[in-house]
A and B are shown apart, each in its own frame.
Chain A
């Protein structure tokens, strides 16, 4: 296993170094393809290499035509197997936090909860790698209210650090009959307003926590981005009167996620490269949206347009 790790790491570094060249090649191929489709003459700088490149284009398939960045490579093989998640907390969790983690265990299919005890994080990650887990989730709290979520993809994948806000757990709702039981079928996913590059990356990270669902499941998990705050909602739907009528029933906890860091290594690798970190003291943070597009404010501009 050591050797395999070493090999994988070397592959990774090699591919990262090739990225620049591959991108060039990809650009050239793309230009040729466009020229061919539109019936225009091929640009002069590509005339010499045109024949070879055209051959390569013919041999390409969906998988090879897109240039892979090293960044998303971690999820290249994720779809092959179903994800396997480990859930833990920070040390000495309070009772509400334990309840919350229990609920999360039901939200993510194929998830396992583990008591933290006095384990060190590096130990946890090592054992997870050995047992072929794909993801590890750590939940932090402040006086009983969950306030942090750290999500690591395991074979040295990216780590995303989220802050939790407005947490409403199933345990808060006293009436047990009203909320009912939670089904454990693989859910459908809805990811809304993840438009920027960082948004796509976050969407990828969140998406690969879930396995491929059956097309007719009734369970929906929603991650909706509103001005850089991602709302998590969990519903069951019914179509009582024909296909167009939809009735939703909310189950499961609801919370807002706020991404503040993405690192390119696992949780334990403190010296890993930081892909993105929030900058709250920058003067223009207020005006920018990092994860998705802002909906246009309903103001005079729009009125004038209309």
Chain B
């Protein structure tokens, strides 16, 4: 480090400041000794210029030789801390007693030249802006700026009454201006914007108007979304500067006249102008007109519509739309039953028509459906539950074979009877006794014949019953011998009575079995008498 001469004259320091100003920003990227020296010298100057305001500071001047960045910084800090508190006290005092501000101002007017110069320096300093430089230079510079602003802020705070903003601004200001963003351009834009927004609201008194403007500007700033955060404070700052300059210039003339001329129409101008213009134009052009009216009004009066006016505009336009829609004929979809002739061609294709279908929609065969069906099938297979056609039990076509039963019990018929039957069968086959199954067969065939007769009657269109065949054959089941008389074989024909004899009652009419005991005795007695009489006659003949 080159030991520099301790010549801390103001001129050399100012020189160094100028030197700092003149260096291009890229040069700050590379650490250079001369720049470092220049900055230190400048800091010293500033420190000493602030010295009179803080009596409690332990340092007379800023010690920079051989000191580290941190140490320099701490020195500055030591000085500035009590300075800040004293400033705060001052501001509070001025809050309570605003009349003292004017006193200060008078004193300030005299020193206004000096202040101006300082302000210019601040502005020029702001041009040189690089936050990304080496720590020491940057911090020094920032600190410088901050101190400058503190100085300035003193003034501002007295006038404003808000302290935070200044600090905020101070920090912001250092980092905002560069080649792209010019404060002056911003100022001009702000003026224009304000003029548009607030109309005739001009500064009334310097202090009050300033306060108002601060307030309104804050509001305005809140409203205006164009301005970013950084520039907001900057704008305030710029505004401040402008106002300060304005203050010093004594810029009061314009306010009074405009204030008096401010009327209701200037703020709510639409209705007045509308009445003149709307009558000329048709109702359908209403929206455009009102819009254009609005703009014309704005242009005329150089004011922008207020928030309230904007809302009203919106509402009005909505109302116009709705009224127009109500007056027009309805869209065809809203008209109830519409035939094809009453709507545009192919307009039904564009509309999403909604029908209520009463049938269930066709099933879409998805994976899940198939899987569920297959599961069902698998369970059925594993259980063996199928709905197959069952084979019907067919009635047997053949009659059951006759089974000859062998009866074990003793036969009731004697052997003679068995031979008798065989003989009868041989001689007279017609008279053979039928077996039990034969009888059943006969019965069955009889029934079936009757049934067939009935069915044929039912089914034939022209039913003719079978002719009855009369046969003269006598059919008996009895052997022929039985047809003759029931006389015992021993009795001859001669002994038998003729019918007229039987009729006249000659012979015995009653049989043996029918006689009672008395009659039997009588018959025997008769027989004995006859036999005795016969016997006597024979004896008589012989003798």
The B393-428 residues at the A interface (CB cut-off 8 A) are 393-394
B285 at the interface (CB under 8 A from A): no
B360 at the interface (CB under 8 A from A): yes
CA of A212 to CA of B387 in the docked complex: distance in angstroms?
A: 10
CA of A25 to CA of B533 in the docked complex: distance in angstroms?
A: 87
B481 at the interface (CB under 8 A from A): no
A246: chain B residues within 8 A (beta carbon)? 378, 381-382
B532 at the interface (CB under 8 A from A): no
Contact assessment for B387 and A79 in the assembled complex, using a CB-CB cutoff below 8 Å: no
Q: Mark A59-78, 1 if CB is under 8 A from B, else 0.
A: 00001000000000000011
Chain A residue nearest in CB terms to B379? A246
B376 at the interface (CB under 8 A from A): yes
Nearest chain B CB to A141's CB is how many angstroms away?
A: 17
Contact assessment for B392 and A79 in the assembled complex, using a CB-CB cutoff below 8 Å: yes
Contact assessment for B358 and A286 in the assembled complex, using a CB-CB cutoff below 8 Å: yes
A77, A78, A256, A286: the one contacting B363 at CB < 8 Å is A256
Nearest chain B CB to A231's CB is how many angstroms away?
A: 6
B510 at the interface (CB under 8 A from A): no
A283 at the interface (CB under 8 A from B): yes
B472 at the interface (CB under 8 A from A): no
B458: chain A residues within 8 A (beta carbon)? 10
Nearest chain A CB to B357's CB is how many angstroms away?
A: 8
CA of A226 to CA of B357 in the docked complex: distance in angstroms?
A: 19
Contact assessment for B362 and A229 in the assembled complex, using a CB-CB cutoff below 8 Å: yes
The listed residue with most A CB atoms (<10 A of its CB), out of B369, B388, B391, B392, is: B388
Contact assessment for A233 and B388 in the assembled complex, using a CB-CB cutoff below 8 Å: no
Contact assessment for A188 and B386 in the assembled complex, using a CB-CB cutoff below 8 Å: yes
Chain B residue nearest in CB terms to A246? B378
Contact assessment for A280 and B358 in the assembled complex, using a CB-CB cutoff below 8 Å: yes
Contact assessment for B360 and A228 in the assembled complex, using a CB-CB cutoff below 8 Å: yes
Contact assessment for A229 and B363 in the assembled complex, using a CB-CB cutoff below 8 Å: yes
Contact assessment for B386 and A212 in the assembled complex, using a CB-CB cutoff below 8 Å: no
Q: Mark A157-170, 1 if CB is under 8 A from B, else 0.
A: 00000000110000
A189, A228, A235: the one contacting B388 at CB < 8 Å is A189
CA of A235 to CA of B386 in the docked complex: distance in angstroms?
A: 14
Q: Mark A194-224, 1 if CB is under 8 A from B, else 0.
A: 0000000001000110111100000010101
Contact assessment for B377 and A190 in the assembled complex, using a CB-CB cutoff below 8 Å: yes
Task: Knowing A246-B378, A248-B377, A256-B363, say if A190 contacts B358 (CB, 8 Å).
Answer: no
A79: chain B residues within 8 A (beta carbon)? 389-392
Contact assessment for A192 and B376 in the assembled complex, using a CB-CB cutoff below 8 Å: yes
Contact assessment for A212 and B377 in the assembled complex, using a CB-CB cutoff below 8 Å: no
Contact assessment for A224 and B376 in the assembled complex, using a CB-CB cutoff below 8 Å: yes
User: By DSSP majority rule, is chain B's interface helix, strand, loop, or mixed?
Assistant: loop
The A267-281 residues at the B interface (CB cut-off 8 A) are 280-281
Nearest chain B CB to A32's CB is how many angstroms away?
A: 26
B358, B363, B389, B391: the one contacting A281 at CB < 8 Å is B358
Task: Knowing A79-B389, A188-B388, say if A248 contacts B378 (CB, 8 Å).
Answer: yes
B358, B376, B378, B459: the one contacting A283 at CB < 8 Å is B358
Q: Mark A280-303, 1 if CB is under 8 A from B, else 0.
A: 111101100000000000000000
A171 at the interface (CB under 8 A from B): no
B365 at the interface (CB under 8 A from A): yes
B363: chain A residues within 8 A (beta carbon)? 165-166, 226-227, 229, 231, 256
B359, B389, B459: the one contacting A286 at CB < 8 Å is B359
Nearest chain A CB to B424's CB is how many angstroms away?
A: 40
B388: chain A residues within 8 A (beta carbon)? 188-189, 207, 210, 212-213
The listed residue with most A CB atoms (<10 A of its CB), out of B387, B389, B390, is: B389
The A238-258 residues at the B interface (CB cut-off 8 A) are 243-244, 246, 248, 254, 256, 258
B374 at the interface (CB under 8 A from A): yes
A80 at the interface (CB under 8 A from B): yes
A7 at the interface (CB under 8 A from B): yes
Contact assessment for A191 and B387 in the assembled complex, using a CB-CB cutoff below 8 Å: yes
B487 at the interface (CB under 8 A from A): no
Contact assessment for B359 and A285 in the assembled complex, using a CB-CB cutoff below 8 Å: yes
CA of A189 to CA of B388 in the docked complex: distance in angstroms?
A: 5
Contact assessment for A207 and B389 in the assembled complex, using a CB-CB cutoff below 8 Å: yes
Task: Knowing A80-B394, A188-B388, A190-B387, say if A222 contacts B377 (CB, 8 Å).
Answer: yes
B530 at the interface (CB under 8 A from A): no
Chain B residue nearest in CB terms to A211? B389
A222: chain B residues within 8 A (beta carbon)? 373, 376-377
B93 at the interface (CB under 8 A from A): no
Task: Knowing A166-B365, A246-B382, A281-B358, say if A235 contacts B387 (CB, 8 Å).
Answer: no
CA of A80 to CA of B397 in the docked complex: distance in angstroms?
A: 14
B537 at the interface (CB under 8 A from A): no
A283: chain B residues within 8 A (beta carbon)? 358
Identify the B interface with A (CB < 8 A).
357-360, 362-363, 365, 369, 373-374, 376-378, 380-382, 386-394, 458-459
Q: A79-B389, A220-B377 are in contact. List 12 more A-B contacts (CB 8 A).
A: A166-B362, A166-B365, A189-B388, A190-B386, A190-B387, A207-B387, A212-B391, A226-B369, A231-B373, A256-B365, A285-B358, A286-B360
12 contacts between A and B (CB under 8 A): A7-B459, A166-B363, A190-B377, A191-B387, A208-B389, A213-B388, A227-B360, A229-B362, A229-B363, A244-B382, A254-B365, A280-B358
- 5 nearest CB pairs, A to B: A79-B392, A191-B387, A188-B386, A246-B378, A280-B359
